[in-house]
Structure 1
Amino acid sequence: MIKTIPILIASTLAMAISVHANSADDRYIVKFKEGKGPAVKAMMEKNGGRSAMALEKRNAMAAHLPAGALTALRNNPNVEYVEEDVKRYPMAEETPFGIPMVQANQVSDVLAGNQTVCIIDSGYDLSHEDLSSNSVSGSNDSGTGFWYTDENSHGTHVAGTIAAIGGNNKGVVGVMPNGNIKLHIVKVFGVDGWAYSSSLVAAADECASNGASVINMSLGGTFKSRTEDRAFADLYNNQNILSIAAAGNDGNTRHSYPASYDSVVSVAAVDSNKVVASFSQQTDQVELSGPGVDVLSSVPVGMGLSTTLNVGGNSIEASGMEGSPLDSATGALVDCGLGESACANAAGKVCLISRGNISFADKVLA
Structure 2
Amino acid sequence: MTDGIDRPALTVTQFVRLIDEALVAFDGADVEGEVAEYRVIHGKWVTFTLKDERSAVGCFMPVWQLKVQLEDGMTVRAVGRPRLRDKGFFSFVLEAVTPLGEGSLKRAFELLKKQLADEGLFAADRKRPLPRFPQHVALITSRDAAAYADFLKVLQHRQGGLTVSFLHTQVQGEDAPRQLLAALEAANTQLQEVDAIVLIRGGGSLEDLQAFNDEQVVRAVASSRMPIVVGVGHERDVCLAELAADVRASTPSNAAELLVRSREELALEIRHMRTQLVYRVRDRLTAGRATSKRLVDILRGQVRGLQQGLAQLVRILRSLSPEQTLRRGYSITRKADGSILTRAADAAEGDEITTRLANGSLRSTVTARHYSAAAK
The interval holding the TM-score normalised by the smaller chain is under 0.3
User: Please, what TM-score do these two structures have when normalized by structure 1?
Assistant: 0.27
Q: Tell me which protein shows more helix as a share of its residues.
A: 2
User: Please, what TM-score do these two structures have when normalized by structure 2?
Assistant: 0.27
Higher relative contact order (CA 8 A, sep 6+): 1
Greater gyration radius: 2
